[in-house]
A = this chain, B = another copy of it.
């Protein structure tokens, strides 16, 4: 038995010695790999940066050529070079847009940029499906509140479910704002307004949490604002679903083009996508008008003295601002698209 256990302990000793060796080797290999890739990355980075700046210079040269001495094909060539640089693998080595203050505030200085294009696309797809799930809740939550209001609560919402809904909105908008900032860091061209819009929505959700909903003699008059807000949220759910359908189709077009390596086509607005825009935009404009209307109504209830809390005025102003901003930015987007 002694002999046996001697054998056993020798074996273990050997194995442990081997493990230590392996650990050292692995450390060596990992360290040399990391050092090697760092220097290679550095060189790719500087090449990408210098190409980027020379493309910029050439473009401004071309655009300053008023007399049209130059071949128009040159512009296309330049466009193509730009696409190769910004939509291919080299894009990972372009200088990073500085990550916004919002991300730094919540996450600290971590890097949220994915190195590979396919992961970036995955992040975007996940964002879209998150919005889908959200849109359903956006429909469900206010509908339930409105239905219960007229069936059970006799036109007077109790505070708790409304506050639950507002807390959910706060959580939701924070998540959306974080995700959109992350998308931006990953090279999305999202207009800054759509992100600011979510900051405003966060502020509104936060403020409305502190807002006294229930109470005093005339409950249903006091809750007129909340009631309108819920109806607006319902409509927003529908528009979000449409918007998502549109955005998803756009993304798929881009991925398909990307897979086919047709980078010499400027990412196109294909016919199907444009068609959807024609359905979407009127709905968006109606929603935006309704948003402004709800805002103005809130302001009026406050000024009429029915409800005199500062929260009501604040939310009213925010809603009007958001409606105007949304309208202006939607119009600007459409104008930019029609220029192509």
Contact = CB atoms under 8 A, between A and B. Distances in A.
Q: How many copies does the complex hold?
A: 2
Interface stretch (A175-183, A239-247, A248-256): A175-183
Interface string A1-34: 0000100110011011101101110110111011
Contacts of A17: 77
A48 B29 CA distance: 11
B37 A182 contact: no
Contact of A109 (B13, B37, B62, B123): B123
Interface string A27-54: 1011101100100110010011001001
Interface in A219-277: none
Interface in A265-299: none
A90 B26 contact: yes
Contacts of A101: none
Interface string A116-131: 1001001100110010
B23 A84 contact: yes
Contact of A175 (B40, B106, B159, B170): B106
A93 interface: yes
Interface string A135-178: 00000000000000000000000011001000100100011001
A80 interface: yes
Interface residues of A, number: 80
A303 interface: no
A115 B41 CA distance: 14
A81 B19 contact: yes
A321 interface: no
Contacts of A188: none
Contacts of A163: 210
A251 to B, nearest CB: 15
Nearest to A112: B110
A81 B16 contact: yes
Contacts of A16: 58, 74, 77-78, 81
Interface string A293-317: 0000000000000000010000000
B182 A30 contact: no
A111 interface: yes
Contact of A27 (B61, B90, B119, B175): B90
A335 interface: no
B206 A69 contact: no
Nearest to A24: B84
Contacts of A189: none
Given A109-B123, A110-B123, 20 more contacts: A9-B71, A12-B61, A15-B58, A16-B78, A17-B77, A19-B54, A19-B78, A23-B55, A23-B80, A27-B85, A27-B89, A33-B44, A37-B37, A107-B112, A108-B127, A110-B182, A111-B119, A163-B210, A167-B206, A212-B212
20 contacts: A9-B71, A12-B74, A16-B74, A19-B54, A20-B81, A22-B51, A23-B82, A23-B84, A26-B48, A27-B90, A30-B90, A30-B93, A37-B37, A106-B175, A107-B112, A107-B182, A108-B179, A110-B112, A110-B114, A111-B119
